[in-house]
Amino acid sequence: MTIKPNILVVDDEPHMLNFLRTLLEVESYGVEIASSGLEALERVQKDPLPDLVLLDVAMPGLDGLQTLERLKEIKQGIKVIMLSCMTEPATVVKAIRLGAQDYLPKPFQQADLEAVVQRVLGRSTTGDAIDALGSAEEVGDDLYFLAASEPMRKIRSQVGMIAGVDVPVLILGESGTGKEVVSKLIHKLSPRGNKTFLKVNCAALPTELLESELFGYEAGAFTGATKSKPGKFELCDQGTILMDEIGEMSTGLQAKLLHVLQDGEFSRLGGRSQVRVNVRILAATNVDIRQALAAKKLREDLYYRLNAFTITVPPLRERREAIPILLRHFMARFASRYMRDPLPLTPELVLAAQSYYWPGNLRELENFVKRYLILGDAGQVIQELGANEGGGHVASGSSAAPTNAESSGLKSIVRGLKDEAEIKAISEALQRTNWNRKAAASLLKISYKALLYKIREYGLDDNSRTKAVSRQI
């Protein structure tokens, strides 16, 4: 029998305490209550520590943000969800910076509460072995966000909080780490999610062309401009625009972008009138911000305007525990796309992938899986990975290398055991329901979409009706 987590609810309103206690106890959570910030602080200094704290923002005396700050000082790793009737950008951003895992606006339904609690706790009703089923979120254009490591789970939590707050977001990270995926997830989860999302690569065009691309032009603005043309900002009105590689934009054009951020208006090239737009701007770059500011390549005023909130996407080498999951995800995707049978991910291949430096990050990992799928020879792609001059394996002379290799190997073994249990559970559910996928999903207490994803990922098909499929990773 699965033991449900214990949750501490902090609110100064008695009816809200009773309401939350009822909702949580219906789901079999253990519930404790505190009617003030001070009472909550006293509670967390006693054992056992609550698995989660639901904390109201607006409370007399020590308010929610002050309580959150004190909680993190006492127990840095404690998980906190903020509750509030208000969603002022400054309050949400401060809550994130203080370490809150999520922000749930009042009023909310039971389903909203349960979803955010499960996301923060990182658990599902069927346990950790099946939890990875729902970890791949489609963000559009065949791109997925996978919260397959602790850093990416933290980013998913930050995105969930900041998406609904209409402020600019600066996304930092090396090339190929998934900055575009993060930006699309922000857009998808925001109130603008059903509006236009456009990406502009600031490094791909010279200044003159980039300016006309962004702001449009009037007829006669330059040679060849025979008729007026709207720019990306006009086309993206009410939506979201991603300024990719913002650090490569000229400082003159940065000044015009700053005007759009401040006033929401601009003029087309060759135009005299102002065009007003309502666009959320996300910016991404792989440059070192401090160096760019020092070299005057990035305007300080633009940086501070964009830096309402910053998300830093770590390189793949700093989230090696996610590599087995990413390998399976890419294998399932590309096998389906190229109409091939998925290939087995052997322990040797996974360990080699976890030991490699991945200078190209996720983009390089995707190409690695594609090459394996085409060649069908695990030994050859492992050998090519080791011989790759671009990054190479983790240097054996480094003091950190043995620890990483040993840790990766252990995680690979644990992941393999979990996968075997997961495959067995899914196969048995499918056999019990005579391969009625909807019934099997209900039996496993997961979504139908999640079950289909896992069937593809593990290569389960109708030929598996008479046997359980087991694949080691």
pLDDT in tens, 1-56: 456 789 999 999 999 999 999 999 888 899 999 999 999 999 999 988 999 999 99
| 126 compared with 275, residue with greater pLDDT | 275
321-339 pLDDT tens trace = 999 999 999 999 899 888 8
Burial label for 467, CB within 10 Å (0-12, 13-18, 19+), is exposed
3-class SS at 448? helix
Question: Residue 119 — very low, low, confident or very high, per pLDDT cuts 50/70/90?
Answer: confident
Q: How many CA atoms lie within 13 A of 343 on its CB side?
A: 22
Q: At what angle do helices 110-121 and 14-26 cross, to 10 degrees?
A: 70
Q: So what's the pLDDT on residue 134?
A: 44
Please state the pTM of the whole predicted model.
0.72
- Among 179-188, 235-244, 264-273, 405-414, the range scoring the smallest mean pLDDT is 405-414
How far is the C-alpha of 70 from the C-alpha of 389, rounded, in Å? Answer: 48
3-class SS at 82? strand
Closest CA to 196 of 230, 170, 224, 221: 230
How far is the C-alpha of 139 from the C-alpha of 381, rounded, in Å? Answer: 30
Other CB atoms closer than 10 Å to residue 190's CB: what's the count? Answer: 21
| 423 compared with 13, residue with greater pLDDT | 13
Distance in angstroms between the alpha carbons of the first and the last residue of the chain = 28
Please state whether beta strands 280-285 and 169-172 pair in parallel, antiparallel, or not at all (unpaired). Answer: parallel
| 157 compared with 54, residue with greater pLDDT | 54
* Maximum Cα interatomic distance, the chain, rounded to a whole number of Å: 74
289-300 pLDDT tens trace = 989 999 999 999
Report which residue type is found at 41.
L
Please state whether beta strands 197-201 and 240-244 pair in parallel, antiparallel, or not at all (unpaired). Answer: parallel
Residue 395 has pLDDT above 60, yes or no: no
- The tokens for 306 are 């964009």
Closest CA to 283 of 395, 172, 117, 135: 172
Strand order in the sheet with 240-244: 197-201, 240-244, 280-285, 169-172, 310-312
Do residues 188 and 141 touch, judged by C-beta distance below 8 A? no
Sign of the Cα pseudo-torsion (407, 408, 411, 412, in order): negative
Q: So what's the pLDDT on residue 195?
A: 96
User: What structural domains and CATH numbers belong to the chain?
Assistant: 6-123 (3.40.50.2300), 150-312 (3.40.50.300), 319-464 (1.10.8.60)
Other CB atoms closer than 10 Å to residue 131's CB: what's the count? Answer: 19
Q: DSSP letter at 181?
A: H
Q: What is the mean pLDDT of residues 92-119?
A: 86
Do residues 129 and 422 touch, judged by C-beta distance below 8 A? yes
Evaluate the omega torsion of the peptide bond into residue 359 and state whether it is cis, within 30 degrees of 0.
no
Looking at the chain, the whole-number percentage of residues with pLDDT higher than 70 is 86
- Among 167-176, 227-236, 244-253, 463-472, the range scoring the smallest mean pLDDT is 463-472
Angle subtended at Cα 27 by Cα 25 and Cα 29, rounded to the nearest 5 degrees: 55
Report which residue type is found at 263.
D
* Phi and psi, residue 238, nearest 5°: 75, 0
Residue 341 has pLDDT above 50, yes or no: yes
Do residues 242 and 199 touch, judged by C-beta distance below 8 A? yes
- The tokens for 272 are 């005299």
352-391 pLDDT tens trace = 999 999 999 999 999 999 999 999 999 999 988 877 744 4
Among 144-148, 426-430, 442-446, top mean pLDDT goes to 144-148
Evaluate the omega torsion of the peptide bond into residue 206 and state whether it is cis, within 30 degrees of 0.
no
Do residues 473 and 350 touch, judged by C-beta distance below 8 A? yes
Sign of the Cα pseudo-torsion (68, 71, 77, 81, in order): negative
- The tokens for 51 are 């698995």
How far is the C-alpha of 202 from the C-alpha of 215, rounded, in Å? Answer: 13
Do residues 116 and 88 touch, judged by C-beta distance below 8 A? no
Q: So what's the pLDDT on residue 47?
A: 86
232-278 pLDDT tens trace = 999 999 999 999 999 889 998 999 999 999 999 999 988 888 999 99
